[in-house]
Amino acid sequence: MTGPNELRRSLGFTDLMLITIGTVIGSGIYLVPSLVMRQTGGHTGLAFMVWAVAGFLSLLGALTYAELGAMKPEAGGLYAYLRDAFGPLPAFLYGWASFLVIASGSIAALAVAFANYLSPLLPFHVPGPLISLAVILVVALINIRGTRGSSTVQNWTTGAKFGVLFLLSVVLTLRGTGGAGLPAAPIDVPSGSLAAGFGAAMIGVLWAYEGWQYVTFSAGEAKDPQRTFPRAISIATFLLIVLYLMANLGYVRALGPAGVANSQRVAADAIGTILGPVAGAVVTALILVSIFSALNGLILTTPRMYYAMARDGLFFQKLTAVHPRFGTPAIAIVTLTAWGALLAASGTFSQLLTYAVFTGWIFYALGALAVMRLRRSEPNVARPFRVPGYPITPILFVVAAVALVLNTIITQPGISSIGLGFVALGAPVFYIWRPRGRASVPAVASPADGRDR
């Protein structure tokens, strides 16, 4: 380290790639396929199109952010990109919304899902909120004790869940019969047009892909980030698209479109149909590992943004503290997880999901616009990686993000109003917190210094 409040660069290419994959694969791929099939009226081709389009949009975003991460490999990720491109207010609003809803809401939603899956396996009754609190506490402690240690946990859990889900998808595809012999049941199609259903399905699928952007917060702890970061986020997102399409194919081959649409636990039902009831318990265990890994990925990455905000004088200064022994932003981790635990105890899974996706995509669009803004305002800065297909790639991502936001405002005005309200509350807070001058703190360690110090 170069100072008492500097983060250590200890994350390599494999770490960054597995952080990206592990943060994305949570409970979404086990919950959302049924919703998508219902929203698309049981049309398998249309359902697969939703997954493919959402994956393609996520890949466009990942390629765009790869340029930003290689150009500005510092703690804070998207917050830092928005700050340098558009000024401190939009950056603060993102950090504020992330703390109140986006990251904390995702942590809470994952913790609630973890409790829902674990409760049936316990030999005695434990209240769901207590389980949610316990898993958040365990993951927080792991991350406080060291970035290298939490990254190792992330690598093993991600490798396990990716590999098992891949194998299960292959087995389901090869041995499935398309639901032949299963009881036929009509699909409960939501009211409204198919186009509206497609848009609603996209929200759920984008949440299932949600998480590829979180690795940007850890760029300040990456070794040789100009080279490793772009490759890691791009390859990881591509692998996720392939895996999600394979999993959906396996579900349909095992249960048929109607079976997928009517299932409440599609992965467990699909495996149980093909391999028997014992395999369903294995899937439940896999889901628990997946959720735990995604939760760990969020807590491993997101506190780095609040650390960066505090260094800029836009958040509690105590959040700049780096643990003298473990080298982690311990107070930032505690602050985020405490708020996430409160949300888990008070909110429902679906509400938290919708708030997080809707408000997040407003800022993800701004992040893509930051690439174009910085190309004009900082033309001479070294760009080790340039987004392919510029400017079409970021423009397509922005257009898709805007369409998603507008669709949510039109179809769910109440929820979108709450999400926008959370963001708007940050404006007066910004002017209260705003320092007279930018905090005079040393810059993060040079990205060229790739030693694990």
Q: Which of 1-5, 141-145, 292-296, 443-447 has the lowest mean pLDDT?
A: 443-447
- Specify if 442 maps to a domain: no
- Specify if 93 maps to a domain: yes
Is residue 443 scored above 50 in pLDDT?
no
- For 247-276, the pLDDT digits (tens) are 999 999 999 998 898 888 788 888 888 888
pLDDT of 439: 43
Cα-trace Rg, the chain:
21
Is residue 46 scored above 80 in pLDDT?
yes
* Mean pLDDT, residues 127-155 taken together: 89
pLDDT of 282: 78
pLDDT of 351: 63
Confidence of residue 183 (pLDDT cuts 50, 70, 90): low
Tokens encoding 77: 């990720």
pLDDT of 333: 92
Q: CA dist 307 to 6, 391, 441, Å?
A: 10, 32, 12
pLDDT of 7: 67
pLDDT of 444: 39
- Specify if 1 maps to a domain: no
pTM, two decimals, is 0.83
Is residue 2 scored above 60 in pLDDT?
no
- For 294-350, the pLDDT digits (tens) are 899 889 888 989 988 888 888 888 888 887 787 888 899 999 999 989 888 876 555
Residue labelled with tokens 């859990």: 157
* Mean pLDDT, residues 156-171 taken together: 92
Contact yes or no for 15/155 (Cβ under 8 A):
yes
Closest CA to 352 of 293, 419, 405: 419
Quote the number of domains for the chain: 1
**DSSP label at residue 101:** I
Q: How many CB atoms lie within 10 A of CB 448?
A: 11
Closest CA to 230 of 18, 387, 29: 387
CATH of the domain at 392: 1.20.1740.10
- Specify if 439 maps to a domain: no
Q: What does the alpha-carbon distance between residue 394 and residue 76 come to, in Å, rounded to a whole number?
A: 21
- Specify if 416 maps to a domain: yes
- Specify if 453 maps to a domain: no
Task: Report the mean per-residue pLDDT for the chain.
Answer: 83
- Specify if 452 maps to a domain: no
Domain that holds residue 415: 13-180+190-433
Q: Which of 126-130, 146-150, 355-359, 422-426 has the lowest mean pLDDT?
A: 355-359
Closest CA to 154 of 254, 308, 20, 1: 20
- Specify if 239 maps to a domain: yes
* Mean pLDDT, residues 172-178 taken together: 89
- For 216-241, the pLDDT digits (tens) are 888 777 888 888 889 999 999 999 99
